[in-house]
Structure 1
Amino acid sequence: MSERTAVVASRSGLHARPAAIFADAAAQLDIDVTIALGGTPADEAMDASSILSLMTLGAANGDTVVLRADGAGAEDALEKLAVLLETDLDAQ
């Protein structure tokens, strides 16, 4: 299983617009990706393609999150998603 950490850069955290952009990007992947706040056990991670899960996660600006995926292309997929998280999507 591949794993990547990222720091949430959006001013509002993973709320509303940033969560929608991120969920859409995760949903377009051919692999399943999970997301959790740093320090959360892997078995409590949530579906990264679900806007509801992202909103429930409650990740705020500056929080560290952990992305996990398994399968072909997992590392590249996680890197792309991490770049999104580390971009202020509120400013776009």
Structure 2
Amino acid sequence: MAQRVVSIGSRSGLHARPAATFVQAASQAPLPVTIAVNGKPPVAADSMLGVMTLGAGYGDQVTLTAEGEQAEAVLEELATLLSKELDA
């Protein structure tokens, strides 16, 4: 199982546009990915409702998890996306 911890780079956190951008990217991944914020159970990264319920704000650290042959590459791509300002 591969994991990446990344800080949210969008000033608005994982809300509205940044969440939609992330969920779209996660839904195109060739394997299931989960995302979690400290103290909350992980949710499917391709679920808009799940990602929004995390309430992840700017600078919060989230943990991405995936399992499979391409897990490392998929998590690296999604982590890079989350670390950027996605609400511009």
- TM-score w.r.t. the length of structure 2 is 0.96
Per the TM alignment, residue 13 of structure 1 is displaced from its structure 2 partner at its CA by 0.2
Per the TM alignment, residue 25 of structure 1 is displaced from its structure 2 partner at its CA by 0.2
Quote the Cα distance in structure 2 between the aligned partners of 1:16 and 1:22: 10
Quote the Cα distance in structure 1 between the aligned partners of 2:34 and 2:2: 11
CA RMSD of aligned residues (A): 1.0
Q: 2:77 aligns to what?
A: 80
Which amino acid counterpart does residue 8 of structure 1 have in structure 2?
I
Quote the Cα distance in structure 2 between the aligned partners of 1:26 and 1:90: 17
Would you identify which runs of 4 or more consecutive aligned residues in structure 1 move more than 2 Å? none
Which amino acid counterpart does residue 2 of structure 1 have in structure 2?
A
Paired residues, number: 88
- TM-score w.r.t. the length of structure 1 is 0.92
Residue identity over aligned pairs, in percent, reads: 52
Q: 2:29 aligns to what?
A: 29
